[in-house]
Amino acid sequence: MTLRSAAPDSFDALPNPRGGAVRSAELALAEALLAFEQHRESTSALLRASHALREAGWLSAQRFADALVRLSPLAEGDPADADSARPVFGAALHDFRAALERHNLRELSCSPTLFNHYHALCAHLSEHTPGSAVAFEDLALSARPVPPVSLHNQSADQLAHLRARYERALLPVLRSQPDSSGAALAFTNAALDELDAVFTELTGPDPYDFWRLAKACAKALRVSGRATGDADARRFYARCNLTLADHAHGIERAPRSLVRATLALLWRDYALFGAAAEDADQVEVLHDYGLTVDWHVAGTQASEMLWEAGAVQAQAVSATRSTLTRELGVLTVNSHAYEDFLQTADASISALTEHARAADQPEKADPSEALQAGDAAYRLGAAACALGLGHVALVADALGLAWRRRAHAGVSTPAVRAHVIVGAPAASTLEQAAEALRAMLHKVAAGVAPTGSNAALVALTRSIEQGGA
């Protein structure tokens, strides 16, 4: 069961008291908000915030800041434009500043509150700049590679039968209301059960089969209570119906836009609130796509409120006692969290380097070792994310995904291999990425801010999205 913060002043997820802070961005946003309230120019301050967030590798947050930069002249300019843009801009700036000070990178990527603001900002921009339409996954999956996903071959009769069942169950789900009760709720739940059953029958042997991803997403929506009455859920179920029609016409790959949207929807609540033991299947799917979550233990609303109060207090203490922090370029990190990260990183990078060297010997290929290497990369990525090292986290997660692809290619049966679209990433790509991560971590250990490793990320992305080169 997914937890949500019960504190009345909370945003979307719990704050991260040991997370790194981009103080220059926080100060710039405070300056921009004050300037906005005093009807002065805020664009220069917002530009400074955007540059600092880019340097820290907080790419989703940088994308949000860039939208504020683009809209700021309209919110502060001609009254005809400012009257409509000003409330949208002011609310977005206020909540973005609050979210940034919570130091939770997953929240900055997956917060529905932030995305609603981002969508509103871009809607105003689209009136002046065509092509500014955005989707949730644009923010949530910013700069992340996403592998191609298959629609495995099935008989036309079977697909026609399954689509008929799907369409019969779809209509009551699309018409459902979030506050339904009694007979209406039971009817909707029966329809959702039928959709889940169709997803199960559609799922093929490829780990990167679209219906496996859709099934995990549908389960996550039901666990979170968002399966009915939620616009994103309705859109997901409706688009799956269209994809089922494409499947029946022999299309072999799921649309990339749908894959990204489904993946982001699956990740959303787990990224914000963590996962419990019963969510293990969905988390396993997320790992196959390069995404990680935190695990939580069962708690009450009262205990969660107490934790959040303690987190705020810890942040206040850290901010006032400079001996508890270290500076890594624009990032200010908690000293104890920094030391813990270095220990985790050292073990992970050693394991990754050894696995990469062994991968260059096909006769010794072991899928279980590839999975272990992927897990080591994910541990590193999750630790970097918690500390605020956005560039490190992005490369580590991409490397974890590449290892996952290699593991699945190694264990595939002939029936599965017939449907696998992308082969295993080359050992040289894995080794180069591990070395790039090692270089980044050496900088962190020396107290120097790591810059983004574009070459490693580009190579990993190519191997994941286009082939095994």
Q: How large is the average pLDDT for residues 152-178?
A: 91
pLDDT of 266 over the 50 cut: yes
The 10s digit of each residue's pLDDT in 200-219 is 999 998 899 999 999 999 99
Top pLDDT among 429 and 321 is at 429
Mean pLDDT in the chain? Answer: 86
pLDDT of 110 over the 50 cut: yes
pLDDT of 423 over the 60 cut: yes
pLDDT band at 312 (very low <50, low <70, confident <90, very high): low
Tell me if the pTM is above 0.85. yes
**What pLDDT, on the 0 to 100 scale, is given for residue 201?**
96
Q: Any bridge partners for residue 292, and if so which?
A: none
**What pLDDT, on the 0 to 100 scale, is given for residue 365?**
59
Q: How large is the average pLDDT for residues 391-405?
A: 95
Choose among 47, 25, 33, 36: nearest CA to 103: 25
**What pLDDT, on the 0 to 100 scale, is given for residue 308?**
53
Worst-scoring range by mean pLDDT, 25-39, 51-65, 452-466? 452-466
Q: How large is the average pLDDT for residues 287-299?
A: 82
pLDDT of 420 over the 80 cut: no
Q: Please, what are the domains in the chain?
A: 21-140 (no CATH), 156-288 (no CATH), 320-465 (1.20.120.160)
The 10s digit of each residue's pLDDT in 54-72 is 999 999 999 999 999 999 9
